[in-house]
Every structure is written in structure tokens, then in C-alpha cells.
Chains A and B, each alone.
Chain A
Amino acid sequence: MVRRGRDFDWIAVICTGILMLVGLSIVYSVSHSVGEVSPEALSGSHFTRQLLWLGLGVVTMLLAFAIPFRWFESLAPAVYVACLVMLVVVLLLPARGETQRWFIIGPLAIQPSEFTKVAVILVWARLLASPRADPNRLRTLLPIVVLFMVPFALVLKQPDLGTAMVFMGVLLPVLYWRGFRGLHILFLLSPLVSSVLIIYGENVTHNPWPFGIFIVLILVVAYLRRAFLFESVSLVVANLGIGLFLPVLWDHLKPYQQRRVTNFLDPDSDKLGAGWQVIQSKIAIGSGGFNGKGYMEGTQKALEYVPAKHTDFIFSVLGEELGFVGAVAVLFLFAVLISRALLAAQKMKSEFAGTLCVGIAAYFAFQVFVNIGMTTGMAPVAGIPLPFVSYGGSSMLVSCFLVGLLLNCSARWSEY
């Protein structure tokens, strides 16, 4: 039934290819900026390494495309367990500075949490694809939440709040796609919102009102949805419980742990690190203007040492050199890629493949929103790379693998 050629998603491939080339050229531009003061010798070696990763990425993509997706359905649990093992091992290794995120093998740094993103998408899709699955039932939801909590906790321990958030950002759309009710989404999401509002209100703005208003809203929703009595009551209890116990728990955290959370929520408070980066990044993007300063012509990238300008903050260099036109073009490419995934999800005959496509779309959407939101000062500084563009092997391999899966599904859409 595979009708390659006709069902091959050329549009997704072209988008991916252009994004890769854009990323490669920006990495080249950063590597060859004049007046570089980074001690880590941001020399041309980053460019050559990125080229190597890109080659490996294309191979990965071909593999993900060639192997029928049903194989991945059977392999999902094994992949998931392998990723968990890697996450545990990386925590047991000696810390590098404050974090334990990487395996260092020779010149290469591998980040298991990136691969875990693929693993969770695969296991969730497998669980939700079974004909008896109903995310509104506890028997389906509970295993999924457990499969979510374990890597979430391990990644949080590294600590990497940003990547932990990606799991959440992928889980909700996937559940929604399989029929998860709005009230339930609210139930999963609202404790998180409550926590953020409380911590933010207590430690950053010193204003308890946003949380108060949120609780009132929760009460209103619970009242309107009183037909679902159990759900409504749990919703209210969960959020009030967080309001009562979170401040107590917060006081038990060590000051450096508290600081890590407040710096995440409010980068401006971290003047030595994240806050400084965001300001430099905004100046770079803003000064790029409509047309940009021209490729390799960026000035801001050279002035101040921004540790992550070739990785997480690469979009600020892109915005400066290619301007609004270039930035929006990149956004457009991502939007097309994501819409290809969503449209593919719609036509899949296999529930597994459909859910997989939604997961892929959610992954790219979340990464793009948080990364560009961060560089433009709208989202917390989360250490999330821009797929295909940021320097970094793990992210490149994962993104390529997911696009390969997408091509795989859309080429075999009629298979069960």
C-alpha cells in the first residue's frame, strides 16, 4: 500500500532542509565573529561539528523513515526504559558545575533528556492507540501520568526545569487529541499555574492577588461544571491544597534551590546570568530591524560574552543579522512543518501514527515557542534549543528523527 512518491511529504522535507541550512549558516556566523572573547574557543570547530551532526541527523531521518512505524510501536517500551536508564546514569556521574545533563564522550556531549522526549511521545502514543484507551478514564490516564512523572522527576533533578516542561507541553496536546476533556486539562494544568502564581506572587511581585483571582476562576468553573461533581471538587481541593502547602514546602527548600526557581520564573532577578543574557538578546534582535544587518554583519553578538549564543540564544543572532524578514521566515517554516504534522495526523488510519504526529507537532511547537519567547524576553530562560538551528548534537538528532517519523507516517497513512 505504500505509494512512495505520491505520499511522500516533500513540503516537510523542504522546510526541514531550509531550516538546517539557516541553522548551519548562523552557527558559522557565530563561530567566525570578530572580537570573540569566549574562553571555550568558539572557533570553526563548532561549525564542522555541527556539519557532522547534520550528516548524522540525515542518516537518522532516513532510518526513522525506512523502518515501518509499527516497529516503533513495539519498540516504544524498550526505548523508554533505555532513556530512563541513561537519565539515572547521568545523575550518578560527577556533576559538571551545577548540573548533570551530559554524557561526555570524547569531544561529544550527549544529552539523554533530549532523547527522552522521543521516548515519551512513543510510549504515550502506544498507550493511547489501544482501542480501549480513554484518557478520561483513570485506568488509561494513570499509567500515562506515571510514565510522565518518572522522567519529569529525573530531569528536574539534573536540574533542568525547561526540558521537564517540554514533557508537559507535549503531553497535554496528545491527551487532548485522544479525547481528553477540557475540564481534565484544566485539572492537570491548574496546579502548575497555581504553583507558578504563588511562587511568583510571593517572591517576585509580592502580590498575592493573581493567585486569588485564579482560585475564584477555578471556583466559577467548578460551579458551572458541577454536573461532573467528582472532577469539580478535586479541582478545587487540589488548587486550594497547593495554596496551603506550597508556601510551607517552599520554606523548606534551600536558598539556592529557591533562587533557581525564581530565576527561572523571573530572569530579570538573575542579573549576573539569565537576566543579562535576555537584555543582550533583546538588544540584538531589536537592533536587527526589518531587513537585518546582513549575514555575518551582526555587531551585538561580538560585544558581550553570552554563553549560549550558539546554542539556546542563536535566534538572537539570527534576528540581528537577518532582521524581521528572516525571523518571520523561520517562524513560517516552522509553522508549515507543524501544520504538515497536524494535517498528517488527521488522515492517519492508525491511531498510533495519528497520535505520534500530534506529539511531533506539539514537540516542535513547544520548542519553538519557548525558545523564541525566551530570546525575545517573553518566556523564562529555559535552556531549550531551537530545533535544527541551535548548535548541539542531541537536539539535532532528535529533531531529525521526529521529522523522519512524520515522513514515515504520512507515507504509510493508510496502514493500520
Chain B
Amino acid sequence: MAKRDGRSLAAGPHRLQTLIAVILLGFIVLTIRLFTMQVVKHEEYAQFARDNQLQRERIPGPRGFMRDRSGRIIVDNALHFEVVMQWRSRNDVVTALRGLSTFIPVDTTRALARFDAWQKRYGRVEFPLFPDADKFVISFIRENWSQFPSLRVQSRMRRSYPPGGIAAHVFGYVGEVTPDDVAASPEGRYVPGDFLGKAGLERQYEEMLRGTPGQRAMEVTASGTSLGEVPELSIAPVPGKDLNLAMDYHMQAFLDSVLSLRPNPSAAVVLDVKTGGIIAATSHPAYDPNEFAMGVSPSLLGDLLNDQTKPMFNRISHARYPPASTFKMIVTYAVLTNRIVDPSRVLVYCTGSHRFGNRVFRCWEEKGHGGMNLTSAVVHSCDVYFYRVAEMMDVDVLASAAAAFGFDRKSGIDLPIEVAGNVPSRRYYDKRHGKGRWTQGLMLNNTIGQGEYLGTVLHVARMSAAIANGGWLVEPHFVDHAADEPPTEWPRTKIEDLAGGTLTFLQRAMLLVVEQPGGTAHWLRLPWLRFAAKTGTAQNPHGDDHSWFTAYAPADDPQIAVALIIENAGHGSEVAGPIVRDFLAEYFRADKPAPGKLTRSAPPPPRTLPAGADTAFAAGVMW
């Protein structure tokens, strides 16, 4: 059966004829099509080509907003207008500028300088002649369109941030796309002149925040009169997704305003102890992201980058400090879990210094603390006790305790740049000094948080949060969820052995730092709010000591944990402590403006900041 017309007919004449017929048919169809278009309907197309043309305008999709936990919009879009110009040569621009300058004030030299930079960067694409045109310019150009047909007015959205740089390092900023950005992204996503997130949440969540551009197709006659939109070729832009932050904007503004009263650089993080949601975080000094929203001027950027205090440096996730005495909580955890010392035993009599070999290690309290057990050593932050502990503790025991609290890795915060802490292990020292060429003496600095141990404020904050919440290491994050999306599940991990007696011990010790007379933060206690804390003073070879303070509150039902470092400010209890105390007082004060529950499905509130008491407050302090 299969042989019937198989081989015998292969390459036979009828196969050739069929192939020729099919191909001929194809050519006939194409010829008919061309005949219809070019001869029969020629007039129609020709008239369209002659009289009308289709113009299209790209409508950028608005960026998503950022809302705080009550749903109020914190990062917004503001409308502005720009005048763009189609050009073929530099001469076109010169002519247009000359023509315009007889009617409206134009800085021709500056505009041409900008044009040259633009041309060099992007080549022959529309040039934004007036990136931020005022009403006068716009109405002039709209009225005299026939004289300047190469000019076009288009609306644009500009990013608008809280003024004065509140949480600037958190939000980050947007910047103009570079040619590399355009080339690296799918075609049509970005065009020269678009903005995208360059730092902070703006960059981290660029994919969600950015809108999808649309286009408006217009039929325009040769004389420039618009015949109206062509709906079949128009497409509506899609706004980006709104981000709902865990941030409490009132507290964020409070934190920024208090810290900006000092010139010292500082960094702070306030965590929701249960979820890891960041209620407030700041890095001071900062910049004003609004200055970046239209493209930052080179002189301002130069000033910011040359500033000694490094305002562009994000100290929240990028700056590592010695954790100083706040680290004693982790040493205590290591002591308890490894049963190195009986916690109730008076281990040392502190005279203000401790001799190890032929070196003398000093306690911060020169007069000495007297007899110390583990609890009182934490409460008084007695260095001598911890020097003694260091002599008994293996390097890797402390390293694994620090690792349990996440100091050896990044915290996982949703910012584009983060550094891990540093946890020196036996291998680390062997590599650094050579095997057997280092002594236990190194541990004496480690147990008071002054050695090679390093961490960011995030590491310290989540340490306090873990002690507060019953032993869970949370992942700090700003974004609770994106609009219309289910809440992101942020992972948290149980810290081994941080439970039962160990946990109670650590919690009680931190509480007594505040509540017990003689505790390093006793003078900060609030009669109406029991909170637990640990102070720290990080010795700094380059200048004055850094002031550390970490706390959680309320002590009986912990809700938030705070970590704050102020560079070169002195003792933790004297500088950072009062600020954290004030923050807690403001957060928990009964008549505070409603902190707002995290809205997850409620209708979006009005799109402008209501003139509430808190904005008035912020205005009073900040500006």
C-alpha cells in the first residue's frame, strides 16, 4: 500500500508541477495585493501620506506611590510640563532658540550646552528644550505652534518626596536612564529622558514601581492641525504598583528631625519585633531626593560627593561599626548556652582594669565596679567581667553565637546595597595572623564588642528584636506589600537555644539596665513605660567614641526594637540613649496622632497629605 505512490512518483513531473503551481500562486497573491494597494487604492494612501500623518506621543506610565502604614501617600508624583524639540541638526536648535528669544526669555548658551551633552549621550532623539517649562512658556508655544512646528509640549510626572530629606536613604531617588539602561532593558521600556530608581527603595522595587508606557496616536494635517486621536492606535499607560510600607511616617519624621539637630553622622532603625517591618529608619546626614527628581545638577552632586560627612552614604545598611557593649548581650547568650560561667557566681572583683599576660585592659569605669556576676556585669556593662569571660571562651564559640544572631551575613533588608557583619572565627584569625601566631588576647577585645566584630545598625536592631520577641531572628524590611498583592511572607528563623531560662535572663538583664539603680541607662527610665535597653560606646581610633543605644519596648509586651548609633558623640547612655528614650516616649504616648494600623485592603485614602497635627509638628521642627 505504502509503495503505491511512494518511490515511483518521487521527483516525478507532477511533484514539480505542484510545487511550481503553489509558488506561482504565492507570487500571484502578492502581485494582486500590491496592485490593490499601489494602483486601485493608491489615491487613498497617497492622500494620507500627503495630507495627514500619524504622530504618536509616548505617555509614560506614572510611577507607583509609596504609602506609610496608615495608607497615606509619602512619595508622590507631581505633574510638570516639558517642551521637547524634534531636530535634524544643531542648526535647527540654534534657529529655534533665536526665534524664541525674541518673545520669551531664553538662556541660549546654557540650552545649547545642554543640547550638546544630550546629543553626545543619546544621539538624534527629541531634545527637551525646556525640561520644566512654566505656564508662560507653555501657553506661548501652544499659541504659536505653527511658527515652531518642531516643538511639542508634553506632560511629565516628577517624583515628589517629603521635603528636607526625611528618610532620604530609605526612599532613594530616581535618575535619568543612561544609554546602558535603555540598551539593557526590553525594547520600548525606557526611552532617553525617562527616569528610573537609582537608589534605595526606588531602585530595589523599580520593577513594581515603574509604570508601563502607553501611546497617543494623533492624525495631524500637513499644516499641523490635529484631526483628533486615533483610538485604534492609542494605548493607555498603566501606572506602577503602589508600595505599602511598614513605616509610621509620624515617627519617621520625628526620628529624622531629632537626629538632624546634631551635626554628627548617625544611623537608626526601628523594627516591629514580630514581623521585622521597619517603622522608621534613617541615615544622617542625608540629601534632598527632590533635588534629584528632575536630574541632579552636577555642581550639587559634586558638593554631596565631596562632603566630609558623606551625605550620599547609606549608613543604615552600608556602614559597619564595632557593636561595642551592645554586643555583650550576645556574649552573655554564649556564656549561658555553653555553660561557661555560673551566671549567679561573682566571677570578678572589678578594680577598673584587668591584667592579661603583660598587658592591662581597662574597664570603662576607672573606679571599678566591685564584685560582679553575669547580670550585674550586663547592667553595669562591666568590661572586666567580660575580659575574664574571654579568657575562658573559645573563639569559635563566640563566633557561632554571633552567627546565630545573624552577624555573619546580610540581614536581608530590601535595599539594593547591604553589607554583612564581620564574625572572626578560628579560621579567620589563622588566615589573618597565621596558624598559632595569635593568642586568646584577641578575645578580650571581642567580648566587649571592640575587636574584629562588626555590624550595622540592622544587626544590632534585630538582635534586640530577637531577645524581645522570644528568640526569632526577623528579616528587616520596609515594604509590607505592594498594592493589590498579598502580603509578602518575610521569613524569620528561630535562634537555637534562645528560649526558656536563657531568654528570660537576657530580657531581665536588659530591663535592669534601665530599671536598676546603677544601670547604665537608669537615668533614662520613664515612670509610665518599662523598656529594656543596652548602651554601647565604641572606641574609635580616628576620633571621638561612637555612641550606641539599643532598646525594645514595652518590656512586658514588646512591640518595637530600636538601634541607634551616633558617630563621634561619646557615651551611649549620654547621647544616643536620650534620643531613643524620647522616640519611645513619642511612640507610646497616649495622645499621639493615630499610628494607624497597616491597611491591607482598605480603600486608598486621599492622594495628598492631610494637614494633620503631625505635619504641623514636622514643619515646626524641620523647616
Binding site for B on A (CB under 8 A): 34-41, 96-98, 134, 136-137, 173, 176-179, 181, 227-228, 268, 271-273, 275-276, 279-280, 282-290, 299-300, 303-304, 319, 323-324, 327-328, 331, 334-335, 338-339, 342, 345-346, 351, 354, 358, 361, 365, 368-369, 372-373, 376, 378
Q: How far is the CB of A67 from chain B (nearest CB, A)?
A: 24
Q: Which of B11-51 contact A (CB under 8 A)?
A: 11, 13, 15-16, 18-20, 23-24, 26-27, 29-31, 33-35, 37-39, 41-42, 44-46, 48-50
| Contact call A176/B18, Cβ cutoff below 8 A | yes
Are A286 and B37 also in contact (CB < 8 A) when A37-B125, A134-B7 are?
A: yes
A22 to B5, CA, bound (A): 44
| Contact call B187/A287, Cβ cutoff below 8 A | no
Closest to A291 in B: B38
| Contact call A287/B235, Cβ cutoff below 8 A | no
| Contact call B54/A271, Cβ cutoff below 8 A | no
Which residues of chain A are within 8 angstroms of B543 by Cβ–Cβ distance? Answer: none
Which residues of chain B are within 8 angstroms of A290 by Cβ–Cβ distance? Answer: 38-39, 42
User: B299 near A: Cβ within 8 Å?
Assistant: no
- Chain B 63-96 near chain A by CB (<8 Å), digits 1 or 0: 0000000000000000000000010100000000
7 interchain pairs, CB-CB under 8 A: A39-B125, A96-B183, A134-B6, A181-B5, A282-B37, A338-B23, A345-B16
Which residues of chain A are within 8 angstroms of B438 by Cβ–Cβ distance? Answer: none
| Contact call B46/A289, Cβ cutoff below 8 A | yes
A300 to B51, CA, bound (A): 12
Please tell me which one of the listed residues B20, B30, B46, B192 contacts residue A286 in the complex, with CB atoms under 8 A apart. B46
Q: Which of B119-140 contact A (CB under 8 A)?
A: 122-125
| Contact call B10/A376, Cβ cutoff below 8 A | no
A323 to B33, CA, bound (A): 13
Please tell me which one of the listed residues A41, A272, A285, A378 contacts residue B215 in the complex, with CB atoms under 8 A apart. A272
| Contact call A178/B235, Cβ cutoff below 8 A | no
Please tell me which one of the listed residues A287, A303, A354, A365 contacts residue B26 in the complex, with CB atoms under 8 A apart. A365
| Contact call B2/A284, Cβ cutoff below 8 A | no
Closest to B122 in A: A39
Q: How far is the CB of B121 from chain A (nearest CB, A)?
A: 10
| Contact call B124/A39, Cβ cutoff below 8 A | yes
Q: How far is the CB of B285 from chain A (nearest CB, A)?
A: 38
Please tell me which one of the listed residues B10, B39, B54, B215 contacts residue A279 in the complex, with CB atoms under 8 A apart. B54
Q: A39-B125, A176-B18, A279-B54 are in contact. List 5 more A-B contacts (CB 8 A).
A: A36-B124, A271-B233, A279-B233, A342-B20, A358-B19
Please tell me which one of the listed residues B30, B35, B217 contacts residue A373 in the complex, with CB atoms under 8 A apart. B30
Categorize the interface residue count of chain B.
Answer: 35 or more
Please tell me which one of the listed residues A41, A288, A338, A346 contacts residue B38 in the complex, with CB atoms under 8 A apart. A288
| Contact call B6/A97, Cβ cutoff below 8 A | no
Which residues of chain B are within 8 angstroms of A271 by Cβ–Cβ distance? Answer: 215, 217, 232-235
| Contact call B187/A98, Cβ cutoff below 8 A | yes
User: B9 near A: Cβ within 8 Å?
Assistant: yes
Residue picked from B13, B19, B192, B234, most chain A C-beta under 10 Å = B19
Are A331 and B33 also in contact (CB < 8 A) when A279-B233, A290-B39 are?
A: no
Please tell me which one of the listed residues B7, B15, B232 contacts residue A177 in the complex, with CB atoms under 8 A apart. B15
| Contact call A331/B38, Cβ cutoff below 8 A | no
Binding site for A on B (CB under 8 A): 1-2, 5-7, 9-11, 13, 15-16, 18-20, 23-24, 26-27, 29-31, 33-35, 37-39, 41-42, 44-46, 48-50, 53-54, 56, 86, 88, 122-125, 183-188, 192, 213, 215, 217, 232-235
| Contact call A319/B38, Cβ cutoff below 8 A | yes
Which residues of chain B are within 8 angstroms of A228 by Cβ–Cβ distance? Answer: 1
| Contact call B33/A378, Cβ cutoff below 8 A | yes
| Contact call B34/A179, Cβ cutoff below 8 A | no
Are A177 and B187 also in contact (CB < 8 A) when A276-B56, A303-B53, A323-B38 are?
A: no
A283 to B44, CA, bound (A): 9
A336 to B188, CA, bound (A): 40
| Contact call B45/A177, Cβ cutoff below 8 A | no
Please tell me which one of the listed residues A97, A176, A369, A378 contacts residue B185 in the complex, with CB atoms under 8 A apart. A97
| Contact call B49/A283, Cβ cutoff below 8 A | yes
Which residues of chain B are within 8 angstroms of A342 by Cβ–Cβ distance? Answer: 16, 19-20, 23
Q: How far is the CB of B129 from chain A (nearest CB, A)?
A: 16
Q: How far is the CB of B15 from chain A (nearest CB, A)?
A: 6
Which residues of chain A are within 8 angstroms of B27 by Cβ–Cβ distance? Answer: 331, 334-335
| Contact call A327/B124, Cβ cutoff below 8 A | no
Q: How far is the CB of B26 from chain A (nearest CB, A)?
A: 5
Are A372 and B11 also in contact (CB < 8 A) when A273-B187, A289-B38, A327-B38 are?
A: no
| Contact call B186/A98, Cβ cutoff below 8 A | yes
| Contact call A286/B42, Cβ cutoff below 8 A | yes
| Contact call A287/B49, Cβ cutoff below 8 A | yes
Closest to A338 in B: B23
A334 to B187, CA, bound (A): 33
Please tell me which one of the listed residues A96, A275, A289 contacts residue B39 in the complex, with CB atoms under 8 A apart. A289
Q: How far is the CB of B85 from chain A (nearest CB, A)?
A: 12
Q: Which 8 pairs show the lowest CB-CB distances between chains A and B?
A: A286-B45, A179-B10, A287-B49, A39-B123, A324-B38, A286-B37, A98-B186, A289-B42
Closest to A132 in B: B7
A327 to B233, CA, bound (A): 28
A416 to B374, CA, bound (A): 98
| Contact call A275/B233, Cβ cutoff below 8 A | yes
| Contact call B30/A331, Cβ cutoff below 8 A | yes
Please tell me which one of the listed residues A272, A275, A376 contacts residue B34 in the complex, with CB atoms under 8 A apart. A376
A346 to B10, CA, bound (A): 11
Q: How far is the CB of B418 from chain A (nearest CB, A)?
A: 25
| Contact call B19/A176, Cβ cutoff below 8 A | yes
A376 to B13, CA, bound (A): 34
Which residues of chain B are within 8 angstroms of A345 by Cβ–Cβ distance? Answer: 11, 16
| Contact call B42/A287, Cβ cutoff below 8 A | yes
| Contact call A287/B46, Cβ cutoff below 8 A | yes
Q: How far is the CB of B149 from chain A (nearest CB, A)?
A: 13
A287 to B34, CA, bound (A): 11
| Contact call A97/B233, Cβ cutoff below 8 A | no
| Contact call A319/B19, Cβ cutoff below 8 A | no
| Contact call B235/A272, Cβ cutoff below 8 A | yes
| Contact call B10/A177, Cβ cutoff below 8 A | yes
Residue picked from A177, A284, A351, A358, most chain B C-beta under 10 Å = A177
A304 to B217, CA, bound (A): 12
Q: How far is the CB of A377 from chain B (nearest CB, A)?
A: 9
| Contact call A287/B50, Cβ cutoff below 8 A | yes
Please tell me which one of the listed residues A137, A176, A285, A378 contacts residue B2 in the complex, with CB atoms under 8 A apart. A137
Residue picked from A136, A334, A368, most chain B C-beta under 10 Å = A136
Closest to B186 in A: A98
| Contact call B34/A319, Cβ cutoff below 8 A | yes
Please tell me which one of the listed residues B5, B6, B31, B192 contacts residue A328 in the complex, with CB atoms under 8 A apart. B31
Which residues of chain A are within 8 angstroms of B86 by Cβ–Cβ distance? Answer: 37
Which residues of chain B are within 8 angstroms of A376 by Cβ–Cβ distance? Answer: 30, 33-34, 37
| Contact call B19/A179, Cβ cutoff below 8 A | no
Closest to B44 in A: A286
Closest to B4 in A: A181
Are A327 and B6 also in contact (CB < 8 A) when A97-B183, A177-B11, A286-B41 are?
A: no
Closest to A343 in B: B16
A338 to B185, CA, bound (A): 41
Closest to B126 in A: A37
A372 to B27, CA, bound (A): 10
Which residues of chain B are within 8 angstroms of A335 by Cβ–Cβ distance? Answer: 23-24, 27
Which residues of chain A are within 8 angstroms of B18 by Cβ–Cβ distance? Answer: 176
Which residues of chain A are within 8 angstroms of B49 by Cβ–Cβ distance? Answer: 283-284, 286-287, 299-300
Which residues of chain A are within 8 angstroms of B217 by Cβ–Cβ distance? Answer: 271
Are A287 and B6 also in contact (CB < 8 A) when A177-B19, A273-B187, A345-B16 are?
A: no
Which residues of chain A are within 8 angstroms of B185 by Cβ–Cβ distance? Answer: 97
A285 to B123, CA, bound (A): 29
Which residues of chain A are within 8 angstroms of B124 by Cβ–Cβ distance? Answer: 36-39, 41
A378 to B32, CA, bound (A): 12
Q: How far is the CB of B218 from chain A (nearest CB, A)?
A: 12
A148 to B54, CA, bound (A): 43
Which residues of chain A are within 8 angstroms of B11 by Cβ–Cβ distance? Answer: 177-179, 345-346, 351, 354
